[in-house]
Amino acid sequence: MVTLSVIKADIGGFVGHSESHPDILDLGREEMERAKQRGLLIDCHVSHCGDDMFLIMSHERGEDSEEIHRLAWDTFQKGTELAKKLKLYGAGQDLLVDAFSGNIRGAGPGSAEMEIEERPSEPIIVFLADKTSAGAFNLPLYKMFADPFNTPGLVIAEGLHDGFAFEVQDVRDHLKIILNAPDEIYDMMIFLGAPNRYAVKRVRCRNTGEIGAVSSTDKLSLIAGRYVGKDDPTMIVRCQGAFPAVGEVLEPFTTPFIVEGWMRGSHHGPLMPVSLADAHPSRFDGPPRIVALGFQLAEGKFVGPRDMFDDPGFDHVRAKANEIGDYLRAHGPFEPHRLPLEEMEYTTMPVVAGKLASRWKSLEEEAAG
Ligand code: F6R
Ligand code: MG
Ligand code: MG
Q: In this predicted structure, what is the pLDDT of residue 223?
A: 76
Does the Cβ of 131 fall within 6 Å of ligand 1? yes
Contact 137, 21 (CB under 8 A): no
Taking the C-alpha atoms of residue 167 and residue 213, their distance in angstroms, rounded to an integer, is: 10
Pairing of β 175-181 and β 198-205: unpaired
As annotated, the active-site residues are 10, 227, 230
pLDDT confidence band for 221 (50 / 70 / 90): confident
Q: In this predicted structure, what is the pLDDT of residue 368?
A: 85
How far away, in angstroms, is 131 Cα from ligand 2 center? 9
Mean pLDDT calculated for residue range 331-353:
87
Please determine, for residue 52, whether its predicted confidence score (pLDDT) is greater than 80.
yes
pLDDT in tens, 238-249: 999 999 999 999
Does the Cβ of 289 fall within 6 Å of ligand 1? no
- Kindly state the DSSP code that residue 351 receives in the 8-state scheme: H
Mean pLDDT calculated for residue range 272-284:
98
Q: In this predicted structure, what is the pLDDT of residue 225?
A: 72
Q: In this predicted structure, what is the pLDDT of residue 102?
A: 92
Model pTM score: 0.96
pLDDT confidence band for 348 (50 / 70 / 90): confident
Report DSSP letters for 121-166, one per residue: SEEEEEEEEES--TTTTHHHHHHHHH-TTT-THHHH-GGGTT-EEE
Q: Atom 14 (ligand 1): residue with closest C-alpha?
A: 264
Helix/strand/coil for 348: coil
Please determine, for residue 166, whether its predicted confidence score (pLDDT) is greater than 80.
yes
pLDDT in tens, 82-104: 999 999 999 999 998 988 999 99
Please determine, for residue 351, whether its predicted confidence score (pLDDT) is greater than 90.
no
Taking the C-alpha atoms of residue 202 and residue 211, their distance in angstroms, rounded to an integer, is: 7
Q: Atom 15 (ligand 1): residue with closest C-alpha?
A: 90
Does the Cβ of 265 fall within 6 Å of ligand 1? yes
Taking the C-alpha atoms of residue 213 and residue 201, their distance in angstroms, rounded to an integer, is: 8
pLDDT confidence band for 227 (50 / 70 / 90): low
Q: In this predicted structure, what is the pLDDT of residue 193?
A: 97
Q: In this predicted structure, what is the pLDDT of residue 367?
A: 85
Q: In this predicted structure, what is the pLDDT of residue 231?
A: 86
Please determine, for residue 236, whether its predicted confidence score (pLDDT) is greater than 90.
yes
Beta bridge partners, 176, equal 169
Residues with CB under 5 A from ligand 2 (ion): 10, 13, 17, 51, 90
The two counts, helices (H) then strands (E), for the chain are 10, 15
Mean pLDDT calculated for residue range 163-169:
98
Mean pLDDT calculated for residue range 161-168:
98
Mean pLDDT calculated for residue range 185-209:
97
Please determine, for residue 81, whether its predicted confidence score (pLDDT) is greater than 70.
yes
Does the Cβ of 90 fall within 6 Å of ligand 1? yes
- Kindly state the DSSP code that residue 195 receives in the 8-state scheme: T
Chain-centroid distance, C-alpha 239: 18
**Of the ligands numbered here, which is closest to the C-alpha atom of 14?**
2
* Residues 6+ positions from 293 with CB-CB distance below 8 Å: 45, 47, 56, 125, 126, 127, 128, 276, 304, 305, 306, 307, 308
Mean pLDDT calculated for residue range 284-313:
98
Instruction: Indicate the average pLDDT of the chain.
Output: 95
Q: In this predicted structure, what is the pLDDT of residue 14?
A: 98
Taking the C-alpha atoms of residue 94 and residue 133, their distance in angstroms, rounded to an integer, is: 13
How far away, in angstroms, is 162 Cα from ligand 3 center? 37
Report DSSP letters for 20-82, one per residue: --HHHHHHHHHHHHHHHHTTS-SEEEEEEETTEEEEEEEESS-TT-HHHHHHHHHHHHHHHHH
Q: In this predicted structure, what is the pLDDT of residue 229?
A: 67
Angstrom CA distances, 50 to 7, 237, 281, stand at: 15, 21, 6
Taking the C-alpha atoms of residue 65 and residue 63, their distance in angstroms, rounded to an integer, is: 5
Q: Atom 6 (ligand 1): residue with closest C-alpha?
A: 264
Mean pLDDT calculated for residue range 198-208:
97
pLDDT in tens, 300-329: 999 999 999 999 999 999 999 999 999 999
Pocket test for ligand 1, best of 15, 221, 263 (most atoms within 8 A of CB): 263
How far away, in angstroms, is 260 Cα from ligand 3 center? 13
- Ligand 1 atom closest to Cα of 10? 8
How far away, in angstroms, is 272 Cα from ligand 3 center? 14
Taking the C-alpha atoms of residue 32 and residue 36, their distance in angstroms, rounded to an integer, is: 6
Does the Cβ of 263 fall within 6 Å of ligand 1? yes
How far away, in angstroms, is 360 Cα from ligand 3 center? 39
